[in-house]
Structure 1
Amino acid sequence: MRTLRFIFNFYLNASIHVALAVISLLGVTSLVLEIPLNLSLFGFVFFGTIVCYNFVKYGVEAKKYLVVMNAYHKNIQALSFFCFGLAVYFLIHLDRKIWVAVLGLGLISCLYAIPLLPKTKNLRSLGGFKIYIVALVWVGFTVLLPVLDNELDISWDLKILFLQRFILVVALILPFEIRDLQWDDPEIKTLPQIFGIYKTRMLGVILMVVFFLLTFLKDNLIGVEISMRLLVSVLLIIVFLQRDRVPRKYFASFWVEGIPILWFGIYWSLKNLY
């Protein structure tokens, strides 16, 4: 039992679960746009997410990321370096036209944790910007990259997809901000710090209603897409109505982050079934 708990905690702490969530959103994009599932892109985004998230969580200072004393964190560090090598391998197999986008998204991710200049703040410390920066990067990796990879024109429906994905990621982050309220530096000015927990939860509900209603603004719409967006909206609304469970240890890091994985799994099954 203790071994299983260790493996489960390592799975979460090493950012493997969040990486699965990110590539699940990438998979949803491929299904919605009816474009091929590029295994090289999936591999790069999966392993790159592990590296990026572990760097943000454990490498706020570069020296801390390279010189690790704790044995548990050494294992995460070793995994991160291994994943970095795999991310580079898959990136090499991608078309060079998306390398510029990857460079830009990677730079934003680095500046999120490390200041550009000495004695300056990183992007995470800029009051009120944290949640939007994370959402922007997720949108970039899960929508922009497959669009560039398939050389798609920016249509009206695609603009709706960009907006919906941004709203969804913001909503997915809110439970984490509520959970981390007691630990976050007041200077970060997260939404729970500004509005309080109740108003933040209600904001989450409103965001999911908007997320779902935007679906009906698309020019090309199929029933399965409506059903899937309704499912995701209902699940997250239920999350925001769980007043006592959000602060719990695994509620956000496993269950909330697992919603995109569930979304892709069901969506993929339905698309292949019909």
Structure 2
Amino acid sequence: MKFLKLILDFYLNSSIHVALSCYALVQITFHVFHIQYDNAMAMFAFFGTIVGYNFVKYDALVRVKRKLIGNQLKIIAVLSFISLFLVGYYFFHLKRITQIVSVVIFFITALYTLPFFPNRRNARNWAGVKIYIVAICWVGTTLVLPLINAGIPFSSDFFIKCIQRFVLVFVLVLVFEIIDLANDDPHLQTVPQTIGVKRTKVLGLLLLIPFWVLEVFVSTFNYHDVLINLIMVLMLMLFIAFANPTRSKYYTSFWVESVPVFWWLMILLF
């Protein structure tokens, strides 16, 4: 049992799980816009998420706090370097315009982590900004890049899906912020710190209504997608309702981050 826990912790701590969620959202984009599977795009998003998330999570730990690197962190560092190499490999298989937009997303991620301005904290520590940067990066990686690389022009469906994807990630981050309330720096001014846990839950539940209703306005409207989205909305509502600061880290780092994977699996099954 200890060994299995070690494997699970490594799987989560190395950001493989969140990368799988990113991969799932890219696959959902392929499905929604009828794009033929693009391995370079999907793998670029997958390995890019591993690199980006590990950089964000462990940069401050090693560079700023100068903590000793344990064995697990050494393995994660090796995995991140391999992933970085693969990101570079798949990057050169993307279209030029996709490469340019992906570099912009990379700089937003770097801004989130590194203090570019003298005597200023990084964007991750800017009051109230974190949740928006995370949502924008996910929309860019899982929706904008696949469409640009497929050469699909922006339409009303694209903008509807951008809003939906932004709302989805925003709501998922709200659950994380509720769980992390006790550990987050008060200066971050996360949504639960600003308006309280109860109101944050109400906000998350209310945001899921337009997320689902917008599906009706998509030109490729079909009942299967509407039903699948409804199931996912109900699942998210339960995660929001039962979220509290005393929950285990696995509640968010495994179960909540699995929502995009469940969504993708439902599409495959139905």
What is the TM-score with the length of structure 2 in the denominator? 0.95
Give the ranges of 4+ consecutive aligned residues of structure 1 lying more than 6 Å apart after TM superposition: none
Give me the whole-angstrom Cα distance separating, in 2, the residues matched to 1:246 and 1:264. 29
Partner of 1:117 in structure 2? 117
Name the CA distance, whole Å, in 1 between partners of 2:245 and 2:193. 19
Task: In structure 2, give the amino acid aligned to 1:111.
Answer: L
**Match for residue 174 of structure 1?**
174
- State the distance in 1 between where 2:37 and 2:103 align: 22
Pair 225,246 (structure 1): closer, same or farther in 2 beyond 3 Å: farther
Partner of 1:160: 160
Q: Quote how far apart the aligned CAs of 1:38 are.
A: 0.5
Change (3 A) 1:64 1:40: farther
* Letter of the 1:205 counterpart: L
Deviation at residue 263 of structure 1 after TM alignment = 0.6
Question: For the residues of structure 2 that align with 1:108 and 1:211, how far apart are their CA atoms?
Answer: 25
Q: What CA distance in whole angstroms lies between the structure 2 residues aligned with 1:2 and 1:240?
A: 30
* Conservation of the 8 A alpha-carbon contact between 1:29 and 1:142: yes
Query: How many residue pairs end up in the alignment?
Result: 270
Amino acid at match of 1:170: F
Cα distance in 2 between the residues matched to 1:42 and 1:118: 37
Deviations 1:75-96 (A, max 9, x none): 1111111111111111111112
Deviation sequence 1:206-257 (CA, Å, 0-9, x none)? 1111210111122330111101111111100111111558732211111111
Aligned counterpart, 1:25: 25
Name the CA shift for 1:244/1:105 in 2 (closer, same or farther; >3 Å).
Answer: closer
Q: 2: distance between equivalents of 1:267 and 1:246? A: 33
Alignment match, 1:7 = 7
**Larger deviation: 210-219 or 42-51?**
210-219
CA 1:81–1:66 in 2, change beyond 3 Å: closer, same or farther?
farther
1:254 corresponds in structure 2 to 254
The separation in 1 between residues aligned to 2:171 and 2:115, in whole angstroms, is: 26
Deviates more, 1:27-36 or 1:54-63: 54-63
Instruction: Kindly provide the amino acid, as one letter, of the partner of residue 63 in structure 2.
Output: K
Indicate the residue corresponding to 1:239 in structure 2. 239
Aligned to 2:70: 70
Q: Does 1:146 align with 2:146?
A: yes
Partners of 2:249 and 2:237 lie apart in 1 by 19
* Partner Cα separation in structure 1 for residue 216 and residue 40 of structure 2: 32
Amino acid at match of 1:176: F
Residues in 2 aligned to 1:4 and 1:240: alpha-carbon distance in whole angstroms: 28
Could you tell me which amino acid in structure 1 is paired with residue 87 of structure 2? Answer: A
- Give the structure 2 partner of residue 191 of structure 1: 191
Matched residue, 1:16? 16
Question: What is the Cα deviation at residue 65 of structure 1?
Answer: 10
> 1 CA distance for matches of 2:20 and 2:66?
25
Q: 1:176 to 1:243 in 2, by over 3 A?
A: closer
SS state at 1:258 partner: helix
Answer yes or no: is the 8 Å Cα contact 2:179–2:245 preserved in 1: no
CA contact (8 A) 1:59 1:65 kept: no
The 3-state SS of whatever aligns with 1:60 is helix
CA distance in 1, matches of 2:26, 2:232: 15
1:52 paired with 2:52, answer yes
What is the distance in 2 between the residues matched to 1:127 and 1:21? Answer: 27
Identify if the C-alpha distance between structure 1 residues 74 and 68 changes in structure 2 by more than 3 Å, giving closer, same or farther.
farther
Separation (CA, whole Å) in 1 of partners of 2:62 and 2:73 = 14
- Percent of aligned pairs with the same amino acid: 37
Aligned match of 2:95 = 95
1:118/1:268 CA distance change after superposition, 3 Å: same
Is the 1:245–1:251 contact (alpha carbons within 8 Å) kept by the matching residues of 2?
Answer: no
Give me the CA root mean square deviation: 1.8
